[in-house]
Amino acid sequence: MRKSPFRLETLTEERSDTALLPEIDEPGTSGSNYRVVLYNDEWHGFDEVIEQVIKATQCSPQRAVEITLEAHRKGRAVCYKNSREKCHEAARVLREIRLQCEVDHD
C-alpha cells in the first residue's frame, strides 16, 4: 500500500508486529468461523483502504488502521469474522475499490 498523508507514523511507533485479531465482543465476531482476509497491494493508499475497511466491517477507525497496517506489514490480515453471508457481503464492499480479499473458513 502506498504511503499517504494519514498520520500512521505516530500510530506505528506504538505498535508491535503481533497479529491483531478482533476481540470477542466486537461487532462481527458472533462465534462464526468464517472470516474475510484482506491482502496487501501496491495500488491503494492507506486512507483508501482504511475508509473501505470501515465501510465493509463497521469497525472503529483505530481498528481499521490496525487491520490496514497488519495487511501492509504481513501481506494479509483477518479483517472480519461473522456468518458466511455477512463475510461475503463485507468482501463485496472491499472489492468495490478492487481490494484483494477472500472469504475462508477457519
Annotate 16-70 with DSSP letters as a single string.
Answer: -SS--PPPTTSTT-SS--EEEEEEP-SSSBHHHHHHHHHHHH---HHHHHHHHHH
Which pLDDT does position 106 carry in this prediction? 75
**What secondary structure letter does DSSP report for 98?**
T
Half-sphere exposure of 69 (CA within 13 A, CB side): 22
- Residue of 10, 24, 3 whose CA lies nearest to 82: 24
Which domains are assigned to the chain? 29-105 (3.30.1390.10)
Which pLDDT does position 65 carry in this prediction? 98
pLDDT averages per 10-residue partition of the chain, 106 residues:
48 44 45 90 94 98 98 97 97 98 93
Q: Could you tell me the pTM of the whole model? A: 0.71
Which pLDDT does position 1 carry in this prediction? 61
